[in-house]
Structures are given as C-alpha cells and as structure tokens.
Amino acid sequence: MTINVVAVTGCAAGIAHTYMAARALEDAGKEHGFNIKVETNGSIGPENVLTEEEIANADVVVLASDVEVEKARFAGKKIYVTRPKVAMKDAKALVDIAMKEGTVFGGKGTEVGNITLGKTSENGFIQHVMSGISYMVPMVISAGLLLAIANVFAFQRDDLGRLVAWGFDQSTFMGDLMFHLFKVGQVGFLLMIPLFAGFVANSIASKPAIAPAMIGAYIANDAGFLGTDTGGGFLSAILVAFLVGYMVKYLKMVPWPKICKPLLPIMIIPLIATFLITVIVKYMIGTPIAAGMSSLYEWLTWMTTTYASSTFIIGAIIGAMIGFDFGGPVNKTALIFGTAVWTDTVAKYGIEGANFVPGTAAQAAISVAPLGIFLASKLFKNKFTATEKVSADSAFGMGIVGVTEGAIPFAAAHPVQMITASVAGSALAGGLVGFFDVKFYGGIGSPLGTFVGYIEQPIPFVTWILCTMSGITLTALIIGLWRKPVTSDNGASTTVSDLGDVASKEVFKPEHVLLDTTSKSKAEAIAFIAKEAHKLGYVSSEKQYAKGLKARENQSSTGFKDGMAIPHCKTKAAKNAGVFVVRFSHPIEWETMDDEPVRTAVALSIPAEGDEKSVEILTKLTRCMMNDQFRETLNQKDSKEVDLTISAAIA
C-alpha cells in the first residue's frame, strides 16, 4: 500500500538545510514509491504550503526543522519531529522511523517558562473535552443561528410598531416556517450535550463508548427522568463522558472469551456500559448535580440582572483568561465555561432567558492578541523587524477568523510583554460586550463576526466592532509603547530604506573565490572565512561573524557531500549578503552527509534583517547546490568557470 507523507523543513538561517532536507525527502519518495509533499519554511517565507486536504490524507507528518513549527494544524495526525540533517542523510529511513515511532498530536504550541502557550494539559483532560467540543461546535452554531433568525420573527408588533407579544403567527407561511425553524434549533440544543459527551468518551476509549455516553448525558439532562426541576447541564455531561470513557477502557482490557470478541464493540461493551451509567446517573449523581447546577445558574443570572457592573467584571475575567495563554488550558477553560453557561441556560430558560455574558466575552476576546500584534506592526513600524512584520501579517490571517494561536510566535519571543498586552486588551473587549449586553449567537469571534454570524447588539454591526477594536487597540498600544526601535550594531535605528548603497552591494564577485592554504581544522577554516569576508567589506565584525558561524555549526553541521560544506549564519555583523567560495589546500574534517572531508566551502553572510532580496538570491544558490553538476563545477580548479556558475545561479 502506498503511504502518504507530508513534511515541513526549516533551519535556523532558512537557507541551506531547509531546501536540502526537502530535496532529500522528495527524492526518497520518487525512489521508494511513497507520496510526499514538503513545505519549506525558508527565509523567503513558507513555500509549497500544505493544504488541509493533504494533511487530512497523510499517514504521517514529518517535521524536519531546527526551528519551532506550529503544530496546531496537524492535530490528530501522527507526527515525528526531527532535524533537517536526519532527512539529508537518509530520508527513506527517516520516513520508516516516522511511521513506526510517530505519535498522534493532540495539543498546540510551545511552552515559555511555566506558561503553556497554545498547548493542552499533559493529563489529557482538556484534550478529551476539546475533542468533544470540536464535534459539538457545528451543532451549536447551526442551532444557535436558526434560533436567532427565527427569534427575530417571533416578536409581534401593534399598528404603531410597538412590541406587544412574543410568539409565532402560524396562520402565515413565514410565521409557520419560523416556528418550525425555532423547534429545529431547540432540537439542536437538546442533542448537543449528548453529542459532546459521546465524543469526549470516544476520545478516551474509541467507538464503543459513544452510545453509552450519549444516552447517559441525555438522561442526566432530562428533568423528567431525574425527577428534578432541571437537568445536570454541561457538568453532568463531562462527568458522564469520563465515567463511561474509562469504564469502557477497562472493559476492553478484560480477557473476554474468543467467542465474545466479535460482539464486544457493537453489543457487549456498549450494553454493559449503558446499564451501569444509567444506574449511576439515576441513583447517585443525577439529582445532586442538577440541584447544584440550577443554583449556580440562578445565582449567575441574578448577578447579571441585579448589578449592572457585574456583566463588565464577568466579561473582563473571561476575556483575560482567553488572552492569557493563547489557546492553552486557561484559554480553553474560559471557552468551555462560556459555552457551558450558554447551552445550559438555553436548555433551562429558553433562548430568551439564556445567559450570553461569558460566551460572548470569550468570542470578543479570542482575536484580540493576534490582531493587536498586526495593528502594532502597522502603527509602530520602526519597532518591528522585517521578519516580524511578515509574522504579524500571518497573525492577522489567523486572528481575523478567530484563532488566538496566531500570537504564539510573538509570545514565545516576548512572553511578559505579550501576556500583559493580550490580557489587558482581551479583558477590555470581554468587559465591554458584557456591559453593553451584546449577545453572540454564532459566527466568527473577531470584528468580522458582526457580518459573518448573528450578534444582537444595541447599535447593529457597530457595537461589536467598537468593543473588539477597543481591546485590539489597547493591546497594540501596549506592545508598541513597550518595544524599543529596531537597532543596527551601532545602535542607530535601521530600516530597509536606510541601507542605501550597502544594500545594493553585489552578492558575488570574482574576487570571492578564495584559496586557503593554511587551515587544517574547521575552527581555522571558519576564522579564515570570517577574516576574508571582513576584508571584502561584507561584515562589520570579523569576530562576531565567526562566532555566528560557529554557533550555527554547533546547532547543526553545514557539511554537505562531495567534499563540500555551506557555512552560514544570520547575524547583525553582516552588512551585506555575500557568497564566498573557499578552496582548502588541506582536507578539513567536517561532519558531512557522506563522511568525506571538506575541500570546498560555499560560505554565506546573511544580514539579520532588511535585505530580503539578497536572501532570496541566497536561497536560489542553495537550491543549485543540490545539483550534482553544479557541485562538480565548484570543486574544479578553473576559477573562471566557478565565477560563471555562481553568477548564473543567483541571477
């Protein structure tokens, strides 16, 4: 059977190993008959970007990268993380290992200090709950929108346009249609909690747990079955889901007779689990949970209707939690709470009596951090590097559709700054929608949501935009005022336009072909390269450039094959992008793909920022390095031929 592989490659500088690893994986796919697509995250940005369909169809995801790769889009897929040089040495072996040892990814993001950014908790609780929510969300949105649309037609007006009653005039076609749409929406809300419980249990113990969990959650929310005034709500569904999930998990471990095994997943285990959870709900947990949830929601409703300021405070707390860890457990807890309050109060009081505050606050805050970063990059251009501006544009793309995780790269680099700005702005947005009694029925949690979705607000379309933009603007101002201007080596503020004739210096000239007759070790070779690059005027500090080259080698060797290496680094010491072909009279011991000593080095000086065109040229050169004929030409003695070859590669 042909396997489908997707991969992402990237290296620290985004130049050499990024493309070499990609080529190695692609060549292995052609040679050994597996389908593969490789996305490269080089200095010029992502190329050959993987689509959702390609990821969904993949049997394994290989992340061969020296830099952090955002894993959120690979949730639920088998992932194997390694470094580019592993792919370069033996790509086929890497794919084989990935298929055997890859693990299914269920969380997001990365950790900064003691704060988990965009990553669910290690014990799996949030993972299982979020799995259930992911299946429930489409039903929440569709049912909520149907209820909201139908609700508009339910208000009866007199001849003067005054609201006099709520109800549907079924004597008209439109009234009858809206009455039934409202009923359909109610069915959706009735089923969403059992659906949620079923897929939480499925996350724990797979398919045999779905039916008993759905039945258990349904009866736990049926006041008639329990003999109470109300059901147990979202909390009972979570408890039922985990009880059933682990019950089924342990039932599957029982050494059943062989004759029973075909019936285990479809009859025996679901039957036993359904019986047990029915007894537990009816006689143990159903009544006390229902009473507790009823008291909680009555208190919450009383607070929001009695004290006007409480809606701002509750909304601000939920918003601050959403903005705290960029899709992590605190964020998800707030999102779950907001969803639970809304769904449970809809079930108890109907859509007209539902408590919208926590859920609406969560949606208003969810896009504040990434959109705040984007706005800051536009208002404070001199405080963002060229790379950061590109990342800020990416953050906009995620934020505008309500994805908080777009802020993670900035939070990883500046955690205190970003958390402070995000919490402040998110709290403001959440507090304002609570104060103005905005009601989010469904749609996108960003300013765009006022057009894509249904939001009830005092001033149609406008209030939501003003509330969310207030939070976004506050976040942007805190980020911009906190940051210092981007500086060059001498401390002066630097932009691309400030580079003048420095930026226009040629990347390669004939005098860049050098002969090193003295170096006998990698350290000596690096020192020679740094010295010559400084003489040629491409680096401001010989010592700093050498230090950068050594650091790059310590991270991952730049040795290639056929006696070649590509030493390079991004550094502030690099005034210009440059290419230097260095031939060594003595073979240099250098960790290479074929374990051969290095006789030719193609060294690169890469400015840390502000010279994107030159970086693109260097990327072209790196791709050429993967061509056998190209390497053979660089290894020959005729320097004129080398000049022509390099010049053609970077043209």
Residue whose tokens read 């959702």: 52
Length of the chain in residues, anyone?
651
Token pair, residue 547, equals 């230090």
In whole angstroms, give the CA distance from residue 4 to residue 60. Answer: 7
647 closest CA partner among 519, 506, 538, 515: 506
State the sign of the Cα–Cα–Cα–Cα dihedral 583, 588, 591, 597.
positive
- CA 579 – CA 606 distance, rounded (Å): 9
* Distance between CA atoms of residues 493 and 505, nearest Å: 20
Instruction: Identify the three-state secondary structure at position 76.
Output: coil
How big is the CA angle at 549 (ends 547 and 555), to the nearest 5 degrees?
A: 105
Q: How far apart are CA 142 and CA 138, in angstroms?
A: 6
Instruction: Report d(CA 175, CA 159) in Å as an integer.
Output: 18
Tally of CB atoms within 10 A around 355:
24
Of 586, 585, 588, the closest CA to residue 567 belongs to 588
3 state SS of 253: coil
Beta strands in 43-160 (DSSP E): 45-47, 60-65, 78-82, 103-104, 110-112, 115-117, 155-157
DSSP bridge pairs for 236: none
Give the whole-angstrom CA distance, residue 408 versus residue 395.
9
**From the CB of residue 262, how many other CB atoms can be counted at a distance below 10 Å?**
10
Neighbouring CB atoms inside 10 A of 140's CB total 22
Asked if 179 and 192 touch (Cβ cutoff 8 Å), the reply is no
SS3 content of the chain, % helix, strand, coil (to 5): 60, 15, 25
Q: Which amino acid is at 113?
A: G
| Alpha helices (runs of H) in 556-638, residue ranges in sequence order | 612-625, 628-635
Q: Which of 11, 467, 569, 624 is catalytic?
A: 11
Rounded Cα gap, residues 276 and 264, in angstroms: 16
Q: Give the E-state strand segments of 59-126 in sequence order.
A: 60-65, 78-82, 103-104, 110-112, 115-117
Task: Tell me the β-bridge partners of 116.
Answer: 111
Q: Is 11 a catalytic residue?
A: yes
**Residue carrying the six token digits 């991952």:** 556
CB 66 within 8 A of CB 54: no
AA identity, residue 243: L
* Pairwise CA distance, residues 406 & 393, whole Å: 10
Range list of H helices, 256-328: 269-280, 286-306, 308-324
Residue 308 tokens read as 């006007």
Find out whether 299 and 100 touch, Cβ atoms under 8 Å.
no
Structure tokens at 153: 């037609």
Which one-letter DSSP state was computed for residue 264?
I
- Give helix 329-349 / helix 173-205 axis angle, nearest 10°: 140
* Residues with active-site annotation: 11
